[in-house]
Structure 1
Amino acid sequence: MKSSVLRSGFLVALVLTFSTWLCAGADTPPLLPGAEDNSATAGATPGSEGEPALFSVFNRPIILLRAELFGADPAERAQRATGRIDGILSRDIFGPIETVATADGIKILVGGELVLTVAPGDADALIGKTYEQTADEAARSLGQALQQAQRQRDGGLLMRAILRAAVATVILVVVIMAVVRINRFMRHRVLILERRLTEKLKERGLQIMSYAVKALRWVLRLAFWLLVAGAVFEWLAYCLSCFPYTHPWGEGLQLNLWKLILRIGASCVQAIPNLLVITLILLITRGVIGLVRAFFRSVGTGHIKIPGMELEAARATQRIIVVVVWLFAVVMIYPYIPGSGSAAFKGMSVFIGLLVSLGSSSVIGQFTSGLVLMYSRALKPGEYIRIGEHEGTVETLGFLSTKIRSGKNEELHVPNTVILGTTVKNFSRFSTDGGVLVHTSVTIGYDTPWRQVHEMLIESATRTAGLNRETKPFVMQTALSDFYVEYEVNARLLDPRQRGMVRAELHSHIQDVFNERGVQIMSPHYVDDKAQSKGGA
């Protein structure tokens, strides 16, 4: 309840601010198009020399003076008219109002005293209005302003206005409390509906919440705020209309609000054809994407064969075509988006484009590297590879990075640019041709016959599981150093993914065999001879 009241208070402040903008920034006053209020009792809104100036009385715009008359510019004319009307009101003269046509223009009189002269140049030629019509409208506005000024001096009228405003305030509080209670009740009902729907979905094996419930909750929240805002706005307009001095504000508030609503409604109606076109483009795009996915699904299952294209390349091609189709759809939709031709929309588009261009250079590099890896067939999911110090099985080959599972069951994400700029060892690519070679090196002294070392290394490989028994292991002497000979044993590995485990087992068997024969392994460093011979029996 407390949070709802706080939110309602914030909304009241927001509506008051918006209403002040409507009153002060309205471009069309109630009876004088193009005029604004800027006075307390009678006043003028002067501009620079030669610019139009507004003459207003008792907070009501009377006329926008545009022409010079008798050597006085519009600002001076408005100031003189303000001084005359102040003098007339100080003597409690409120009428009658007359208009008298002269050679210089049409004079507006109050109680037989001149207030101002409407010149032919004061008419707004852009809307085709004559200065006679301008003078008649000014006289009517002046009559309404004087009536409000006369009512302002009625103490009983002010007390009744205060009472009406107080009653309106009480009604506003009651309405807001009722709306809050109704909103709380509806939210409770929606929560019950959501629980029931969730239970039904769980029974069917679906662990999701209905989008309809989310949409209903959003609609209820929007309706609550619209009702509160509308009540506050109507209360404010009514209270301003109760008092003579603020009566023009109340009229302007309601008038400009309705104009704003009508303008928004007209824009929505005008946007309906464009929205229909956008919907049609989206439907066509969805259909084209469905055909593309069905085609490449058939390529993936083997029903349709494209020479030189494998499964991963087919998936990458599908994603690229889908992105291109959506980009083409966005380009087609853009001119039909409401407001796309406005300067604000264009500025936002330029800003977003600048952000994308500055922040996407590395992303584009990763994306391009991913395409090169896919179409060059350098890597495939399931292959056992080594990239720098990292070794493991390729899980996923993406556009931005490659996911690898190491022998310790760790997930590694390697950027595609790193893979493209690094030597990659692929242990699985030729594993079907008898198996990939697994090898390790030992260093043995010159006093041990090399044939005996060959025999022991081959025996060690024979004891090791995971090696191809059909292919005989072989030994190579890779270096003749100062104190020892470097031997390398090679054998065919059946499963490249077991490379680490097989090497570890091979190392253990090498140690066992050499210990059984009494041969000392001199790596990593040769320290001293044992009491017995290093040679085997």
Structure 2
Amino acid sequence: MDSATSIVIPATTLVGVVAFLWLMQWLLLGRNPEIGNERKFPRQIILLALTITGLLAIVFALPIGESSRNQLIGLIGLLISGIIAFSSTNMVSNLMAGILLRMTQPFKTGDFIRVGEHFGRVSERGRFDTEIQTETRELIALPNTLLTTQALAAIRSSGTIISVNISLGYDVHHARVEKLLLEAAEKANLKDAFVHILSLDDFTVSYRLSGFLEEVKKLISSRSELYRHILDCLHGADIEIMSPSVMNQRRIAEDQKVIPKTVSHTLDASTNQANDKAEKLAEKIAFDKADEAEIAEKTMQTLKDKIVSLESKLEQSSDEERSKIKEKIEALRHSLKKLEDKPVKQDG
């Protein structure tokens, strides 16, 4: 092999590998830069494998002897092994934790979860971390190892119990309190409500009102609505609330109670309507990404189930029916691919 050929072949290989990797990087990641980590990770693995393959192709194209080539390949393998060894501790731990979470399924996309001080709805489940969206619309990425090593509380999609603790004076009979609290729970659309007396304190009696909420997506607004109805019911019955304790420094008459003045019915109705509208908008804005992710995941699972169902019918169908079924399968796969490639909604 002459000197010109020995230079042209490696140079051509280098240019070809770089051009190919650039094209694959654009096809896999560049076209949809906003796709989530869930769909980005396998593409990154493919790109890494292609990069290593391209590097080996360049080494084989170099005009060097067999012994030198083997040493160079061994050096590349050693470098790659070293990089993986240094970075694999957290990476492998989070990856294995992600696989464990997929197997045990303690929560789904769109569920409310609490881990330590973090609380929000799951907006994305990645192989290395899980993203939650808080009620202030912040996106927090939690390492999967955190979800498997700490206590994780997940609110079931079938419903949850919301509670509120309240302290009232000894001058109010508990039967009257229970009746008013249950009335507040009914107005807040809670099912199977119940009241517990938690403690008899020095100056107050502590009660807990609990009720079953079927629409868990309305958790934030339903809790606020429950508080509002408790205030209305107790103040409407001329009962002052002592939670956690009244520490009033001003002089008041013995028969004067700490209760807001009664507002007109028109003003009260308009205030409630404004609050209802604001709370609906608040949850829609706060958990927009979690809502979108939950809908997308459910839609993709539905499409996959339909594809599996149609594929099972192919063998038992006639030629004409088989052709129609294949067309339906292709249409469903096309819709599924569009959903998988759809960019995830970002802030801004």
TM-score, normalised on structure 1? 0.37
* Partner residue in 1 for 2:3: 260
Secondary structure at the aligned position of 1:473 is classed as: strand
**Highest RCO, 1 vs 2 (Cα 8 Å, sep ≥ 6):** 2
Deviation by residue 1:215-253 (Cα, 9 ceiling, x = unmatched): xxxxxxxxxxxxxxxxxxxxxxxxxxxxxxxxxxxxxxx
1:328 deviates by: 12
* Partner residue in 2 for 1:369: 97
Secondary structure at the aligned position of 2:69 is classed as: coil
Deviation by residue 1:104-161 (Cα, 9 ceiling, x = unmatched): xxxxxxxxxxxxxxxxxxxxxxxxxxxxxxxxxxxxxxxxxxxxxxxxxxxxxxxxxx
**Alignment-mate amino acid for residue 205 of structure 2:** V
1:499 aligns with 2:219: yes
1:330-409 aligned at under 5 Å gives the runs 338=60, 341-409=69-137
1:526 deviates by: 3.2
1:411 is matched with which residue: 126, 129, 139?
139
- Measure the CA separation in 2 of the matches of 1:505 and 1:522: 20
- Measure the CA separation in 2 of the matches of 1:411 and 1:266: 50
1:414-433 aligned at under 5 Å gives the runs 414-427=142-155, 429=156, 431-432=157-158
Q: 1:392·1:497 contact (CA, 8 Å) conserved in 2? A: no
* Partner residue in 1 for 2:240: 520
**Alignment-mate amino acid for residue 532 of structure 1:** D
Secondary structure at the aligned position of 1:417 is classed as: helix
1:532 is matched with which residue: 255, 261, 264?
255
Q: 1:439·1:488 contact (CA, 8 Å) conserved in 2? A: yes
* Partner residue in 1 for 2:309: none
Q: 1:395·1:405 contact (CA, 8 Å) conserved in 2? A: yes
Aligned residues: 230
Q: 2:59·2:73 contact (CA, 8 Å) conserved in 1? A: no
1:330 deviates by: 6.9
2:203 is matched with which residue: 475, 479, 483?
483
1:268 deviates by: 9.1
Q: 1:370·1:400 contact (CA, 8 Å) conserved in 2? A: yes
Q: 1:447·1:534 contact (CA, 8 Å) conserved in 2? A: no
Q: 1:447·1:535 contact (CA, 8 Å) conserved in 2? A: no
Deviation by residue 1:360-399 (Cα, 9 ceiling, x = unmatched): 3212111111111111101211212222333222121111
Q: 2:56·2:73 contact (CA, 8 Å) conserved in 1? A: no
Distance 1:268 1:456, change over 3 A: closer
- Measure the CA separation in 2 of the matches of 1:506 and 1:500: 10
- In structure 2, the gaps of 5 or more residues are 17-37, 63-67, 260-348
Secondary structure at the aligned position of 2:108 is classed as: coil
1:500 deviates by: 1.3
- Measure the CA separation in 2 of the matches of 1:268 and 1:409: 51
**Alignment-mate amino acid for residue 180 of structure 2:** M
Q: 1:439·1:491 contact (CA, 8 Å) conserved in 2? A: yes
2:183 is matched with which residue: 447, 450, 459?
459
**Alignment-mate amino acid for residue 254 of structure 2:** A
Q: 2:185·2:226 contact (CA, 8 Å) conserved in 1? A: yes
Q: 1:335·1:341 contact (CA, 8 Å) conserved in 2? A: no
TM-score, normalised on structure 2? 0.55
Secondary structure at the aligned position of 1:486 is classed as: strand
1:45-56 aligned at under 5 Å gives the runs none
Deviation by residue 1:274-297 (Cα, 9 ceiling, x = unmatched): x9xxxxxxxxxxxxxxxxxxxxxx
1:329 deviates by: 12
Deviation by residue 1:304-325 (Cα, 9 ceiling, x = unmatched): xxxxxxxxxxx99xx88x969x
Deviation by residue 1:407-455 (Cα, 9 ceiling, x = unmatched): 233322222122222222211x2x43xx311111101122211111111
Structure ID, larger Rg: 1
Q: 1:384·1:391 contact (CA, 8 Å) conserved in 2? A: yes
Q: 2:160·2:216 contact (CA, 8 Å) conserved in 1? A: yes
**Alignment-mate amino acid for residue 398 of structure 1:** G
- Measure the CA separation in 1 of the matches of 2:258 and 2:170: 10
- Measure the CA separation in 2 of the matches of 1:328 and 1:262: 26
Q: 1:374·1:397 contact (CA, 8 Å) conserved in 2? A: no
- Measure the CA separation in 2 of the matches of 1:503 and 1:328: 52
- Measure the CA separation in 2 of the matches of 1:266 and 1:351: 25
**Alignment-mate amino acid for residue 164 of structure 2:** T
- Measure the CA separation in 2 of the matches of 1:475 and 1:386: 25
Secondary structure at the aligned position of 1:380 is classed as: coil
**Alignment-mate amino acid for residue 477 of structure 1:** I
Q: 1:448·1:535 contact (CA, 8 Å) conserved in 2? A: no
Alignment root-mean-square deviation, CA: 4.2
